[in-house]
Structure 1
Amino acid sequence: MTGAAAGECAGLSGLFIGLMSGTSIDAVDGVLVRFDESGVLAGTLAAASLAMPVELRRLLTDLQQPGADELARAALAGNRLADLYAQCVQALLAQAAVPSSEVVALGAHGQTVRHDPAQGFTIQLLNGARLAEASCIDTVADLRSADIAAGGQGAPLVPTFHARVFGSASARRAIVNIGGIANVTVLERGSAAPALGFDTGPGNTLMDAWCERHRGETFDRDGAWAAAGRVDQALLGRMLAEPYFSLPAPKSTGRDLFNPTWLDRLALDRIAPVDVQATLLELTARTIARACTEAAADEVHVCGGGAANGALMRRLAACVAGIPVGTTAAIGLAPQAVEATAFAWLARQRVAREPGNHPAVTGASGLRVLGALHAAPRVRT
């Protein structure tokens, strides 16, 4: 441990960076934030988002499914992703005019290409040592494996952070992150810990894949294409018959399940592509709404890329009729910054040797310190 990290473990405070590339594989989001000695968010100094290069996106997408020469391609992808993360770090430092030596540590999620907690593993591609070398900042990566080793799902990890920043004394809140996969955190009134948290199912991933296949665009901006179609109720019924939706929490999922192959099994040939898109949006809205209503949430706050999908937000509001729906901006944090900030907080927890998971959410046998720490070079800028 070097520099700022070595001197601040007791009542750990200071600057941290969080880096996230989610299941949509569209960008790397980063934040530079400050936490106080209690681990409470004390300010955001910079935020940046770098588009995922087309070649790297293709490589990471291909690695979601079994293929030839996987080990070498995965190692190469981990290196390239580390380089892109390092570019995001430099953008954050430049934006805030802060040298790397003032940053205690960074937390980097990597790119999930396999997630199978039932068999005891999850794979987030990222060369953490390479990122530490390039950024000159102590790097925390592989944040899910410790929870899985303790019998947990390894996901979602963000609910413990949600409880720190979004808890309310007067309202039972549902915090919904809509990335490629959607997850919900239920925060009980006045509690410092999440009451519940799990992946509800597909967020943007199936809509993105269908949009790219039929329109050559990586996502459906504002849900405009979906809004132009009609929901096919028979198709929606086949989608909702997926066994995952009936599993009790704790549970987690990913592109291992919800991918183009899953779509192709649904007999879509006789349905207009625009109507399939409308039905996929309805699937996301319905499965999130079910989780929120079953949890008896008083209000719903959305973060992640799905918060910018106007059609999806309208359908979600309709499906949870009577429950106010908004974004996390109304309760203190921009929707696109939430996950990256959570991974900055997880880096803080790792350096402080404090737990980052919550057994009620993941199903782990106990609280665990999460992540592998890669020390930066001693000469820092």
Structure 2
Amino acid sequence: MLKSGMVRALGTMSGTSLDGVDAAVVETDGDRIEGFGETAYRPYSDGERAAIRSALGRWPGEEPVAVAAEIVERAHAGVMGRFRDVDLAGFHGQTLAHDPGGKGTHQAGDGQALAEALGLPVVWDFRSEDVARGGQGAPLAPVWHFALARWIGAKAPVAFLNLGGVGNLTWVDPRLDRPERPGALLAFDTGPANAPLNDLLHKRRGESFDRDGALAARGRVDRDILGRFSRHAWFGRVPPKSLDRDAFGFLDTEVAALSDADAAATLTAATAVAVARGSEHFPQPVATILVTGGGRHNPVMMELLRKGMKCAVVPVESVGLDGDMLEAQAFAYLAVRVQRGLPTSFPATTGVPGPVSGGRVSAPRGGVSAA
């Protein structure tokens, strides 16, 4: 049984950019943030990344999935085992396929196996309940963004932009006292972010990502491709809404005839266009967009975002947050909320009909309890 009051929760994230596992501790009661603890990172090796990549788009029972799941579990157990004095853990797993309204959602990795390995209760499978109840199952970080907006003392609406494999925006009104209040949150996936760019670098150059935007900086944006992209029906669809990692896979074909630099420049510009189109759905304008995720390290991407928006676009570090660990922290916070029966997703974040506390709780030594 989780003790009352503030606890030390460990969260992890292995995102669609396939770089590795982030882990971070948050001190919280599932509502208020008391403070932030230690962090750690465990990169995937090239071989591990290739094995996980081969399982993308696959569902349980398909051949590459078991291998990918074993890698994910081993990597997570290794980095999570470095932490001490933790009360419980949140394990997101590795998203391999996401098809709300169809097959569902699939995150590789077994939380029960991790609970046994770590000797800790582990909260996992955060998305399935939301999808089962008619939600998109994503994004799940908005309730954390709401807590963060209040933590940093925001007095007016603010937006959080996560630039992982897929981009997503959370619009927050911190003037409301609870995330389930109507008008407190709006969240949705904007479109592709780092995934198409990383895949391009992997396919053409055997590299993981465009370090410092150096390749894109040497290229020219193909305006015809960007124009067609900006008119995609996705951008007019009313949120909340979520995407699979490869939902915009056609971009690979679009840039196939371009040089490496021009292709990188075009894909980087597409990320900025997707965010600008997404901001059209904000209930009220914001003065600031706080950027988290790997994309904020790309100066070309950040400059394009600033040029495309009518507000400040700054890394979350500008308000004292850790943009490399925000997603891992989110799943620490979500784990506590699940364990205490508090909602983790809402109609305005995933489209679910009512607030949902989504996740399974696995105890070590074989004891499993449902949240």
TM-score w.r.t. length of structure 2: 0.91
Aligned counterparts of 2:253 and 2:324: Cα–Cα separation in 1: 32
The structure where helix makes up a greater share of residues is 1
CA contact (8 A) 2:347 2:353 kept: yes
* Alpha carbons of structure 1 residues 124 and 378: separation in structure 2 relative to 1, 3 Å: closer
Aligned counterparts of 2:119 and 2:63: Cα–Cα separation in 1: 26
Hey, what does 2:42 align to over in structure 1?
Answer: 50
> CA RMSD for the aligned pairs?
2.0
Between stretches 241-250 and 282-291, larger displacement belongs to: 241-250
SS in 1 for 2:113: helix
Hey, what does 1:275 align to over in structure 2?
Answer: 262
1:316 aligns with 2:309: no
Q: State the 1:44 CA deviation.
A: 2.0
Between stretches 49-58 and 179-188, larger displacement belongs to: 49-58
SS in 2 for 1:118: coil
1:28 aligns with 2:21: yes
| CA deviation string 1:199-256 (max 9, x = no partner) | 0011100111111222221100111111111111011122234332232211100224
Aligned counterparts of 1:107 and 1:377: Cα–Cα separation in 2: 18
* Alpha carbons of structure 1 residues 134 and 316: separation in structure 2 relative to 1, 3 Å: same
CA contact (8 A) 1:171 1:299 kept: no
1:80 aligns with 2:34: no
2:254 is aligned, of 266, 280, 297, to 266
CA contact (8 A) 2:235 2:278 kept: no
Between stretches 195-204 and 41-50, larger displacement belongs to: 41-50
Hey, what does 1:363 align to over in structure 2?
Answer: 351
Residues matched between the structures, number: 358
The residue type paired with residue 298 of structure 2 is N
* Alpha carbons of structure 1 residues 305 and 345: separation in structure 2 relative to 1, 3 Å: same
* Alpha carbons of structure 1 residues 210 and 138: separation in structure 2 relative to 1, 3 Å: same
The residue type paired with residue 284 of structure 1 is T
The residue type paired with residue 43 of structure 1 is G
Aligned counterparts of 1:140 and 1:38: Cα–Cα separation in 2: 13
Hey, what does 1:333 align to over in structure 2?
Answer: 321
Hey, what does 2:237 align to over in structure 1?
Answer: 247
Aligned counterparts of 1:267 and 1:203: Cα–Cα separation in 2: 15
Hey, what does 1:113 align to over in structure 2?
Answer: 96
Aligned counterparts of 1:81 and 1:362: Cα–Cα separation in 2: 26
* Alpha carbons of structure 1 residues 305 and 281: separation in structure 2 relative to 1, 3 Å: same
Q: State the 1:172 CA deviation.
A: 1.6
Aligned counterparts of 2:303 and 2:79: Cα–Cα separation in 1: 33
The residue type paired with residue 23 of structure 2 is G
1:141 aligns with 2:129: no
Hey, what does 1:15 align to over in structure 2?
Answer: 8
Hey, what does 2:170 align to over in structure 1?
Answer: 185
Query: Where do 1:96-245 residues align within 5 Å?
Result: 98=84, 102-119=85-102, 121-167=104-150, 169-191=154-176, 192-193=178-179, 194-245=184-235
The residue type paired with residue 22 of structure 2 is D
Hey, what does 2:363 align to over in structure 1?
Answer: 375
Q: State the 1:267 CA deviation.
A: 6.1
* Alpha carbons of structure 1 residues 7 and 240: separation in structure 2 relative to 1, 3 Å: closer
1:345 is aligned, of 307, 314, 333, to 333
CA contact (8 A) 1:106 1:344 kept: yes
Q: State the 1:70 CA deviation.
A: 5.2
Deviation above 6 Å: which 4+ runs of structure 1? none
TM-score w.r.t. length of structure 1: 0.89
Aligned counterparts of 1:126 and 1:169: Cα–Cα separation in 2: 36
* Alpha carbons of structure 1 residues 228 and 103: separation in structure 2 relative to 1, 3 Å: same
Q: State the 1:13 CA deviation.
A: 2.1
* Alpha carbons of structure 1 residues 13 and 316: separation in structure 2 relative to 1, 3 Å: same
Q: State the 1:169 CA deviation.
A: 4.7
Hey, what does 1:89 align to over in structure 2?
Answer: 80
Hey, what does 1:3 align to over in structure 2?
Answer: none
Sequence identity, in percent?
34
CA contact (8 A) 1:23 1:254 kept: no
